[in-house]
Homo-oligomer: A and B are copies of this chain.
Amino acid sequence: MEVTSTSPSRRVERKEKLRDEILAAASKMFADRGYEAVTLREIAKEIGYTHAVIYQHFPDKWHILAELSSETIGLMVQNFDAIAVKHLASKERLFATSRGLIQFCTAHPQQFRNVFFGPENRNGVRAGQYINDLGAPLFERFVQLFFDVAKEEGLPSKDDIVVAHTWWFSIFGLATLMVIQGVVPDLPDQTLVVEQTIATLWAGVQAVPRLPKSAISKRSGRSSASKQQQLLST
């Protein structure tokens, strides 16, 4: 039994090592050529094995991406924190992290695609969706930072989460359009559009108050009911 810290018994060691090799190879290949274009047999060949061995470490191809997606989102959080810590004024933090988010996306376009716009598993769960528990910290930081700014700068919409969403959805949406090519016309100067968007949004949130929930027309929207925990069920 010996549940204590007995040595990883070499066997476990090697098993974990192989698992990491699979992940490393998959990560590189997915990033280079996209999830769909990469074959399990190619991944295995890359590290000198047969493709069947992968199934001793992952239930299926999708779960490899799921794990890598979790890593990627972790990097986005790190990126956010590293930038945020550099600026004292919350307004500067907001601007810098907004730029940082977009830069991260354009620096890793294929990862971004795989994570957020990649394949769904059998249950219709997207790889990026699966780790909502991991994505949550990221968006919580976004929202919290915006609240900080709203307070520090005395914005009219103090603690309105709708306004916070407006900011970050616009930023995140712009990042998406810049990464998924061909959706909108090519940008002659990406940086300029980013700066213009940030400036416009900033001017906007300063001027616009929280909208009254009345005055808005019909339509309730597609539920917010959490459908977590379809997670690992393959």
Contacts and interface: CB of A to CB of B under 8 A. Distances in A.
Interface in A186-234: 186-193, 195-197, 199-208, 210-211, 213, 216-226
A221 B190 contact: yes
A219 B97 CA distance: 17
Interface string A86-127: 000000000000000000001000000000110100000110
A165 B182 contact: no
A154 to B, nearest CB: 16
A208 B200 contact: yes
One complex includes copies of this chain to the number of: 2
B129 A181 contact: yes
A163 B197 CA distance: 8
B182 A177 contact: no
Contact of A177 (B172, B183, B210): B172
A184 B136 CA distance: 9
Contacts of A216: 189, 191-192, 195
A170 interface: yes
26 contacts: A117-B117, A117-B180, A117-B183, A126-B180, A126-B181, A162-B189, A162-B193, A162-B196, A168-B184, A170-B170, A170-B174, A173-B177, A176-B176, A191-B218, A191-B219, A192-B211, A195-B216, A196-B210, A199-B211, A200-B201, A200-B204, A200-B205, A202-B204, A203-B207, A203-B208, A207-B207
